[in-house]
Structure 1
């Protein structure tokens, strides 16, 4: 609920149907990224879901491109995410979408935090792209890091 109120959840609509959702935030989940990494302007994908009715149409890939474009317009250097450590299919999908594996945070080995299940960290440069979505949301706020 908090992510909806803060304006970090976005929906892809296909007529009256919600085809996909993504949560995109400038805030990293605690305990995953190092202080040096957090000093770099970044945006983080926290959740991405595509309705089964829209599977196989590259909606997820285009939505990731949209997120990278939005991050770029916010002056972010990186688009980052964490995936479940055991979900190798999702990890392969992220790699096919241009992400590079940074490291895997294992149980009890999280940076500045406790054990994690979703600790497979990946990033790709934020970049402008033609994603094909009509963005009806406000322009992103510029990222600034001290």
Structure 2
């Protein structure tokens, strides 16, 4: 049975537990910095999970505020569903949003895109079916 290992507790390393793992101190520090926490004193726990992932639990004083913390209601923004990837239509994703290739062609043409093979990435927001197009050349249209 795999167990979780506490590598940092209340801002301090557990040298003994770190030695039990395959993580070096340099790797651990790099992973923590990549997660946005350069100062270990700001962390309550860093846990090596049984699946090999690190759970980084910051001290409440450095947790990023969210609308929920401030009791602010937010609207669902939607999920972008890729419909063109590197010039190829993603038919399964079109079906997922209950659209077809004809609809996609019309939407792209309306937005000034006439050749699918020139589109690097296009997505449709699941909430309102708005289109996001990126040619991969820095020219975008929303």
Q: Name the structure with the higher helix share.
A: 2
So what's the TM-score if we normalise by structure 1?
0.22
Q: Pick the structure with greater CA Rg.
A: 2
So what's the TM-score if we normalise by structure 2?
0.22
Higher relative contact order (CA 8 A, sep 6+): 1
